[in-house]
Structure 1
C-alpha cells in the first residue's frame, strides 16, 4: 500500500518537519505524495469513487480470490478468519456489515495483503481490537483504510505498539476521512505524543463518536484533549470511562468543556473519581448548556449526598439535559431528598438512573412524591436498592397520578420480606407498577424495553 504524506507534521518541539517527499525514503518502501489538506479530501473521494466503480461488480467470491492472490504476492498465509467472513458474509452494493479481526495477529505483510479486500468493500465496522499491530503494519493498514474510505466505525483498541508512525497514520485518518464517524481507542496509553497527535487531529475531524476508555487521560493528556474539543463542532459523543479522572484539575477541564462546547450531546464519565467537588465543576459547566449535552453518565464516581447540593442548584435551570445516570454512587435517602424538589421544577430530564445508590423505602417515597408532580419523566432506574413494600406502595400510588413514566426499573427479585403476606404484596405492587407504566407508554406512544435494558439506555463499553 502506498503511504500518505502528512504535510503538517511537526517535531516534538513544535517545529515543522520536512514532508515525506523531502526525507530520504526507506529501502523498499513505496510512497506517493498527496496535495495539501484543503485539496486532499476531494482527491480521496474521487479516487475512492473510481476504485469502487471498477470493483462494484465483484462478488464476495471474487474478493476472496483477490485476497488469496494478494497473500501469495506478499508471501503470507491467508487468514482463515477473513476467508470465513468473506464466505459467509452478505454483500450489498459493495458493502458488508463488518470485518472482525479481533485478536488476529496482523504483521506488516498480513496488513499489506488486506488491501485487496479494503479496496473492494466498504464495512460498517472494522474491528482491529488486540490485533497486535506493530508500527509499520499499523501505518500501512490505516493509510489503506483512509485511502479507500473502508469503514464508518473503527476499533483499534488494545494495540499498544503502534509507534510514532502508527499514531501519525491514525491522526491523518481522523483528520481526513469523510466517512469515519466512530473511533474506539481503548486500553492504550494516551500520553505524550499519542495525546498530542490525537488532539491535533480532532481540530478538523468529522468524527461524531469517540470512545477512549482506560487510556490514562487524567492530567495533562485530558487538558490537551479538552483544549481541542472546546472548538470542535463535529463530535457528539465522548466516552471516558475508567480514566482515573479526578475531582480537581480533571473535573475543572470537563466543566470548561461543557461551558464552551455546545455540540457534544453525550458525555460518559463512569468509573472515575469525579466525587462531590468534581460534580460542582460539572454543574457549573452544565449551566452554560443552552444547546448540546443531552446525556451525562456518572456511574460509580464516589459521589455522595453532599454532591447533591450542587446538582440541586443546577437542575431547575437545565433546559437540554435529558439523561442523567448517578447509579453506583452513595447518594442515600438524604441525597434523593435533596434533589426531589429541583427535579419537580426541571422540565428537561426524561431518564434518571439511580441503580445501586443506597436508597431504601424512605428515598423511594421521596421519588414517588417527585413522580406524582412530574409531567416529563419517562424512565427511572431503582434496581439494586433496598426498596421494600413501603417504597413500592408509594411508587404504585404515584403512578395512579403520573402519566409520563413509561418504565420504572425495580429488582425482579426484591429484598425479601419474611412475612408471607408482605411477599404477596410485593409481587402485586410490582405487577401494578409494570401495568401502569405500560399504559403510560401506550398512551404516549413510547416504546418499552426488556427488563435487562438499562433505564438510561446506557451502552456499556465492551470488555476491551
Structure 2
C-alpha cells in the first residue's frame, strides 16, 4: 500500500514539472509596436484656446482636417459663419446649424472648432441629432464652455444618453444662461434628469414650449424649481396645461419661488378655475414675478374677480398679458379699481379680448388715474368713436403712457363723418403718446426695463405703426420660432 502511494506521488510530481512555475501575483504584460503605443491624447482646454496665436485661417484649416479625419464633407454654412468671426479673444456671435443633419461623425468633426472658438449662441434646432452624436456633442459643449445660449429644439431622438448629457451641461456649465428645448416631448425620465440638474444650475432662462409637460413631468419640474435660486424666466407655451393639477402646480411655484421674474403660459387651457390657483400663488406675497403672460387660455370675465383681489397686493408685476381671452367689458369693469390701486403694472395686454366702447371708457378712467402705465395694447377689439374719444381725453391728463396700440383701420359706423372722426382720434392718440415719450426722456424717466429678457423684446416703434404685430409677442422674451397665436 505504501509503495503504491509513493509511485503515484512520483507520477504527479513528474507531470506537474512539465508546466512552468508561477509566482504568487505574477503578471504578464505585452507591448504593441512603438508606433502604436499612443493613438491620441487629451489636451487641456485652456492650452487649446491660446487666442494670441490662433487665427481664423487656423480655425478653418482645423475644421477641414477634422472633416477629412471623420470622413464628412465640410459644411458651407459653417464655413460661411466662421468667416464672420472677427475677434478670437471673445465669444463669436453665433453658430447656427439649424436644419443641418448632424450624425455622429458630423458631431465629432465639430470638436476642432469648439476647441478654438466659443459662441454666444449655438442653434441645433432641427438637426436630427441621434443619441450617440447628441451625447458626444453636448459633452464637448460642457468641456469647452462653448455656448452661453443653446437651442436644441425639435430633436426628438436624443435618447437616454443625450438627455443625460444635456442635464450634465445644464448642471455644470458656468457660462450657459439660456436653454431652448421646444417642440419635442419631455417624458418622465428626461424631466427627472433635467429637474435634478436645475437644482445646482446657473441657468437663467428655460424655454420648454410644446414639450408635452402636462401631468407628471410638470410636477417633477415644479418641485425642483420651488428651491431653484437662479432661474428667472420660464416659458411653457403650448403644453396643454390644464386647469386642475397643472394650474395648481404653477400656483405652488409662484407661492414658493422667489427668483422667477417671467412666466409665459400662452396657448394652454388654464381657464377660470386655473387662474384662481395662479392668483392664489401670486397673492401669497413671496413672488417677485415681473412678467405674466396668459395669452389664449380660455379665461373669461368670470375669473377677473380673482385677479382683482390680488392686484393691489402684488407690487412687482410689471407686465400682464391677458390677450385672446374672453374678458369682455364686464371683465374690464371688474379689474378697474384694482388696476388703479396697483402701483407696479407698466404694460397691459388686452388684444382680442372682446372689449368694446364701454370697456374702453372704463380703461380710460384707469389711464387718467394711473401714473405708471406705459403701454396698453387694445388691438383687435371693436372700439369705435365713443371709446376712442374717451381714450383721447384720458391721454390729455395722463403723462406716463407712451404706447397705446389700437387698430389702424377705423371700425364701421352708421355715419360717414364718424369714420373720419375715428381717423383723427387715432392720430391724436398717437401724437399724445409720442409727446409723453419725449417728455419722459427729458425728465430722464426712461421706461422701466422688463428685466433680463428686455433685449429680446421686439423692437416696436411708438404709436400706432405696429398694428400688424401680434399681441402675444410682447411682455416676455420669445423662443426662436415662436408658437402660433
With the length of structure 2 as denominator, give the TM-score of the two structures. Answer: 0.84
CA distance in 2 between partners of 1:462 and 1:359 (Å): 31
2:481 equivalent in structure 1: 463
Instruction: Quote the offset at 1:64 in angstroms.
Output: 0.8
1:4 equivalent in structure 2: none
State how 1:69-218 maps to structure 2 within 5 Å.
69-218=65-214
CA distance in 2 between partners of 1:31 and 1:359 (Å): 69
CA distance in 2 between partners of 1:163 and 1:205 (Å): 22
Contact 1:290–1:320 (Cα < 8 Å) also in 2: no
Instruction: Quote the offset at 1:463 in angstroms.
Output: 2.8
1:51 equivalent in structure 2: 48
**Residues 299-348 of structure 1: CA distance to partner in whole angstroms, max 9, x if unpaired?**
00000000101001111111111100000000000111110111111111
Instruction: Quote the offset at 1:389 in angstroms.
Output: 0.6
Instruction: Quote the offset at 1:77 in angstroms.
Output: 1.4
2:411 equivalent in structure 1: 415
In structure 2, the residue corresponding to 1:97 is in which secondary structure?
Answer: strand
1:278 equivalent in structure 2: 274
Instruction: Quote the offset at 1:58 in angstroms.
Output: 1.9
Inter-CA distance 239–140: structure 2 relative to 1 (3 Å threshold): same
Determine if the alignment matches structure 1 residue 325 to structure 2 residue 343. no
Instruction: Quote the offset at 1:291 in angstroms.
Output: 5.1
The count of corresponding residues between Structure 1 and Structure 2 is: 422
2:30 equivalent in structure 1: none
In structure 1, the residue corresponding to 2:199 is in which secondary structure?
Answer: coil
Instruction: Quote the offset at 1:49 in angstroms.
Output: 3.5
CA distance in 1 between partners of 2:440 and 2:285 (Å): 28
In structure 1, the residue corresponding to 2:93 is in which secondary structure?
Answer: strand
In structure 2, the residue corresponding to 1:408 is in which secondary structure?
Answer: strand
- Unmatched segments (≥5 aa) in structure 2: 1-38, 448-458
CA distance in 2 between partners of 1:414 and 1:263 (Å): 43
1:251 equivalent in structure 2: 247
Determine if the alignment matches structure 1 residue 359 to structure 2 residue 351. no
The structure that has the greater radius of gyration is 2
CA distance in 1 between partners of 2:200 and 2:44 (Å): 21
CA distance in 1 between partners of 2:293 and 2:413 (Å): 33
Contact 1:245–1:272 (Cα < 8 Å) also in 2: yes
State how 1:380-419 maps to structure 2 within 5 Å.
380-419=376-415
Instruction: Quote the offset at 1:449 in angstroms.
Output: 3.8
CA distance in 1 between partners of 2:215 and 2:404 (Å): 38
In structure 1, the residue corresponding to 2:240 is in which secondary structure?
Answer: coil
In structure 2, the residue corresponding to 1:202 is in which secondary structure?
Answer: helix
**Residues 78-109 of structure 1: CA distance to partner in whole angstroms, max 9, x if unpaired?**
11211121124433524211000001000101
Contact 2:255–2:287 (Cα < 8 Å) also in 1: no
CA distance in 1 between partners of 2:104 and 2:192 (Å): 25
Contact 1:358–1:385 (Cα < 8 Å) also in 2: yes
Inter-CA distance 330–128: structure 2 relative to 1 (3 Å threshold): same
With the length of structure 1 as denominator, give the TM-score of the two structures. Answer: 0.87
